[in-house]
Structure 1
């Protein structure tokens, strides 16, 4: 048994003892009138039993009037995520908001803890990027006491605020552009992980191929170079597609390098179109044709949409779809 007297008691201990969330404990401490009497008394009893002493500075921060926004992302090493963060922060700065960045590392347990932390911190709104969106994530968004905007993820639910491009349409159009050149053996390179947005990309590709009476061909690999590069080496030694659509720029660059290694000329023998139009597309040799996902704008518009929600401003459509286009470079023929 833990000797409470000799252990620093935290808000986590109180929440566990009272069998409530961190957010509920925080509300009892800062806004007790908003908590049901029975729940409030259970929390207060846990505080008395454990001898919890809330940090006065933290309580002061929680009760101040300035607006705080939590930005929850899976990873900050990707160029696209960094650009999206810039868009969010630039708009937040205009409104004098404080932005708290939380990184889940795509780990469900970490993500659950982070949601509890941001609720306990009593943030005013949340911008949420999750490539691997699941049903329980949707429920989390819908049950939130504060506004949540999904960033760079589209959902088929008009009640959820989200900002993205039309991923399905983008990949349909990109596939169609290759078909219109007379190409038939068109490969789609997707990911092994169940990224939510990739299901839309795959749907667009499949629809375009089937409309042209062509057989879809999807292969899956990791986003990690140490895995996808040898995968491409092996695949391209045994298969010779005429073209490939790739769901991420960094993966496409790895495919270009592997093609060069096995003697396949880009774009003469293999044309490649990628997605994102990040710095990797411009740095690649040859430069990479890519579907432009306006990720900075997506971050900025997400922050503006969240501002409207926090201020109860009228909103015509919670599902915001931004325009996209294909940037043609040297990985495809003119």
Structure 2
């Protein structure tokens, strides 16, 4: 029996009584085609069971129809794996004590989840697929070059690969850096880390109880952490308030351990986390130490992740437009694909301060 032939774009055009170019427009940019024509073409696609051949399309216009997003990854140890049961054997259900919250997935990152959501939505609207990859410390150079060879354009989150690697790749692949400091020669988009932290800290100084301020710093190689640290110093400069810094590394455990150590010396009147995860760890440590929040000590974070809405007390934070960050990154890539010689753009998105129970409004 002869194998049935898969329908082609020519078959769809014949079935819908339109040109091949019109079929292509409907599938790539449907908003540019009238509703009646678009529906006629789509009905033909459904009747015939036509599936566009991305490989053939890429050969025709030297495009893959795919955009890339490279985010930082983790070197996950093999010992962290839960192994499957043997064939036919029942799986073992374990009971774990999670009253302190330490059983949460240490590799989950809400920041990147929302960034990916925004980038994926923008890519899909433009007729592109989004390929997401994570560069670990041992493979980031390899991942960078491999991903760049598979996509039409690439968005790279700061700290994922060294700046010198980015500079060397810009001429070969249209590129945008996300959440960095710019200066690579590529298009860039980031949020106002410095201004947001400065505004938050000024509010904290106005409402906190008497006493010292503890700032939970982020990783020294993070542009986000550097911008927020500058905002903190802008706000405390010239103020008659004692303050000091502890490294929390943007993690729940880092914030928890830094505050636990601080409580052995003195109780702070304010803990300002460089991100929400370290601030949530700080809240847990203060609760364990019997410190009333916000009566004795106010606490704030930065990012606006969902967990900050459900903590006890709810966490005052600076909300980043993380979905918008992903959307803007893709829009910059599309602009670069349309005009390869355009001057690089450097966009900065505004932030919002969300006042909640851990450090509320004045009065």
Is the pair's TM-score, using the shorter chain for normalization, greater than 0.5? yes
| 1:296-332 deviation per Cα after TM superposition (whole angstroms, max 9, x unaligned) | 0111111111111111189687111111110000111
C-alpha distance in 2 between matches for 1:129 and 1:191: 16
Check the 8 A contact 2:68/2:130 in 1, yes or no: yes
Greater Cα offset, 214-223 or 85-94: 214-223
Corresponding residue SS for 1:298: helix
Distance 1:210 1:226, change over 3 A: closer
Aligned to 2:66: 68
Matched, 1:81 2:81: no
Aligned to 2:203: 177
Distance 1:291 1:131, change over 3 A: farther
Check the 8 A contact 1:86/1:296 in 2, yes or no: yes
Alignment of 1:123-272 (within 5 A): 123-131=151-159, 134-140=162-168, 143-155=170-182, 157=183, 159-181=185-207, 185-192=212-219, 194-226=221-253, 228-272=255-299
Matched, 1:293 2:324: no
Alignment of 1:305-316 (within 5 A): 305-312=332-339
Check the 8 A contact 2:189/2:346 in 1, yes or no: yes
C-alpha distance in 2 between matches for 1:104 and 1:319: 24
1:111 to 125, 134, 140: 140
Structure 1: runs of 5 or more not aligned: 1-56
C-alpha distance in 2 between matches for 1:124 and 1:314: 16
CA drift at 1:58: 11
CA drift at 1:194: 2.4
CA drift at 1:93: 0.5
Check the 8 A contact 2:275/2:302 in 1, yes or no: yes
Distance 1:263 1:315, change over 3 A: farther
Larger Rg, first or second structure (1 or 2): 2
RMSD (CA atoms): 2.7
Aligned to 1:120: 149
Q: TM-score scaled by structure 1?
A: 0.73
| 1:86-124 deviation per Cα after TM superposition (whole angstroms, max 9, x unaligned) | 00000101111021111113x1x3110012202332x21
Structure number having the greater helix percentage:
1
Distance 1:316 1:286, change over 3 A: farther
C-alpha distance in 2 between matches for 1:98 and 1:195: 29
Structure 2: runs of 5 or more not aligned: 1-52, 74-106
C-alpha distance in 1 between matches for 2:311 and 2:125: 35
C-alpha distance in 1 between matches for 2:349 and 2:219: 27
